[in-house]
Structure 1
Amino acid sequence: MLKVEGLQNAYGQSRILFGINFEVRAGEVVTLLGRNGMGKTTTINSIFGLLPPKGGKVFVDGLNMTGKPPHAIAQQGLGLVPEGRQIFPTLSVEENLVATRRADRRAPKWTLESIYRMFPRLKERRRNMGNQLSGGEQQMLAVGRALMTNPRLIVLDEATEGLSPLMREEIWTCLRSIKSEGEAILVIDKNVDVLARFADRHVVIEKGRVVWSGDSAGLVDNPDIKNRYLHV
């Protein structure tokens, strides 16, 4: 579904990505792992056209979407839960959700009703403004907003960063449910132990390069990977 080939990027004269390669197949959960500042968010921004790549290619279902505007990439079936959530603070919960609703699908899987079933707390607070929510509630809203685009691949940048343990578990429960629905997921998070149980494959990035990729068994059986590339 998503294929990244030789992705390169920079901020000004500072090179950040040096030929990133990976793919996410339909229905698969893949992680991007690495310490802070290694290029994970830059990779996501490059895929979504938020930072046009300096080299390499991004394919969605075989279509070359390299450097296309974000709305065009979203229309190909990619939904983003960005770092920092970036919900609309002066819109209500329900207005945030409706704002990204896909109107061109006759029988969408994700609707207000299905989002409220997944996140009952959002239904309870549907009239509250975005800036009146807790951090965990904002993350629920960010996930729900991405799902309202009815994507075939949902991408989460720092899925549980800054959340309480209880709220983190709610988010992981939600993501397990999304996985069970057959959605493809690309996720960045620091909780490697949870990701090893949740994801199918992992891609480890160090200084803008892929230094390791493999399945969960390979990650668990190779503690040197965590010690060298994932521990602070």
Structure 2
Amino acid sequence: MSAPLLRIENLEAAYGEAQVLFDVSLTIEAGEVVTLMGRNGMGKTTTIRNLMGMMRPRGGSIRFEGQEVVGAPSYRIAKAGLGLVPEGRQVFPTLSVEENLVATSVKAKNGWDLASIYQLFPRLRERRGNLGSQLSGGEQQMLAIGRALMTNPKLLILDEATEGLAPLIRAEIWSCLETLKSRGQSILVVDKNVSALERLAERHVILEKGRTVWTGTTEELKADPTLKERYLGA
């Protein structure tokens, strides 16, 4: 039996002396969409920061395609095939849309290129000469997703996929993620819109105070409304 695309086991992490992750575990299979859920401050972004090499875990294991990545620098982790759409988007403000897209691009046979990104997000084609700082929040999020896809990642990670966006733009982002799912893109997504996450993903992982407290399918999540009340405030 082959190893999952991503396996995080017993992850622990701290900011200085303050421990914030105590026991986070999750797996993602190739082609699977998995959500990371939990109230604010429960460790979702910290888990992603550790996964991407922005923090050094205090304990535990992170294996990508069977290879341990704990301790590897962020650029090596990205090169291994993890593409991040960070919280707050963080597009390059003084580069044009097109320059943002090609800045970190990785060529791949039959992979993402400018033409396919513009097909996915026609608005980016229209704004391709505009600077990152001249885009609306929704356009910046499209650009951040496009930039991550241009690295042709094996796993796409979205931290707060639709936070702060207008409802119409949110719907466009969810539609984009459905398209990526239909193409077999592996995705780990964080967002507060539980119903949208349920529609998109096969499996869900809930964090509470830096620990994985529940993992299960959409059907199992829907079947137990107390889970949302207890852990998600829904």
Shorter-chain-normalised TM-score: which range? over 0.9
**Whole-Å separation in 1 of the counterparts to 2:104 and 2:183:** 20
**Whole-Å separation in 1 of the counterparts to 2:205 and 2:71:** 22
How many residues matched?
230
**Whole-Å separation in 1 of the counterparts to 2:9 and 2:196:** 28
Aligned-pair distance for 1:19? 1.6
Partner residue of 1:16 out of 8, 17, 20: 20
- Specify the SS of the correspondent of 2:45: helix
**Whole-Å separation in 1 of the counterparts to 2:188 and 2:110:** 21
After superposition, give the CA deviation of every residue in 1:140-199 in whole Å (9 maximum; x if it has no partner). 000000000000110000000000000000000100011111010000000001111110
Alignment of 1:78-93 (within 5 A): 78-93=82-97
Partner residue of 1:57 out of 51, 54, 61: 61
Aligned-pair distance for 1:100? 1.3
**Whole-Å separation in 1 of the counterparts to 2:203 and 2:51:** 19
Aligned-pair distance for 1:67? 2.2
**Whole-Å separation in 2 of the counterparts to 1:52 and 1:127:** 38
Letter in 1 for 2:105: R
1:156 counterpart = 2:158: yes
Moved over 4 A (4+): none
Which position in structure 1 is the counterpart of 2:117? 115
After superposition, give the CA deviation of every residue in 1:186-214 in whole Å (9 maximum; x if it has no partner). 00000001111110100000000011110
Partner residue of 1:212 out of 185, 189, 214: 214
Which position in structure 2 is the counterpart of 1:171? 173
Letter in 1 for 2:207: I
**Whole-Å separation in 2 of the counterparts to 1:209 and 1:108:** 39
- With the length of structure 1 as denominator, give the TM-score of the two structures: 0.98
Which position in structure 2 is the counterpart of 1:191? 193
Aligned-pair distance for 1:75? 1.1
- With the length of structure 2 as denominator, give the TM-score of the two structures: 0.97
The answer to whether the 8 A contact 1:108-1:150 is kept is no
Letter in 1 for 2:45: T
**Whole-Å separation in 1 of the counterparts to 2:110 and 2:150:** 9
Which position in structure 2 is the counterpart of 1:126? 128
| C-alpha RMSD over aligned residues | 0.8
- Specify the SS of the correspondent of 1:75: helix
* Runs of 5+ unmatched residues, structure 2: none
After superposition, give the CA deviation of every residue in 1:69-92 in whole Å (9 maximum; x if it has no partner). 111111111100000001100000
* Runs of 5+ unmatched residues, structure 1: none
After superposition, give the CA deviation of every residue in 1:56-114 in whole Å (9 maximum; x if it has no partner). 111000001112111111111110000000110000000000001114x3x14100000
Which position in structure 2 is the counterpart of 1:25? 29
**Whole-Å separation in 1 of the counterparts to 2:222 and 2:125:** 38
After superposition, give the CA deviation of every residue in 1:99-147 in whole Å (9 maximum; x if it has no partner). 01114x3x14100000000000000000000000000000000000000
The answer to whether the 8 A contact 1:46-1:67 is kept is no
Percent sequence identity is: 60
Letter in 1 for 2:34: V
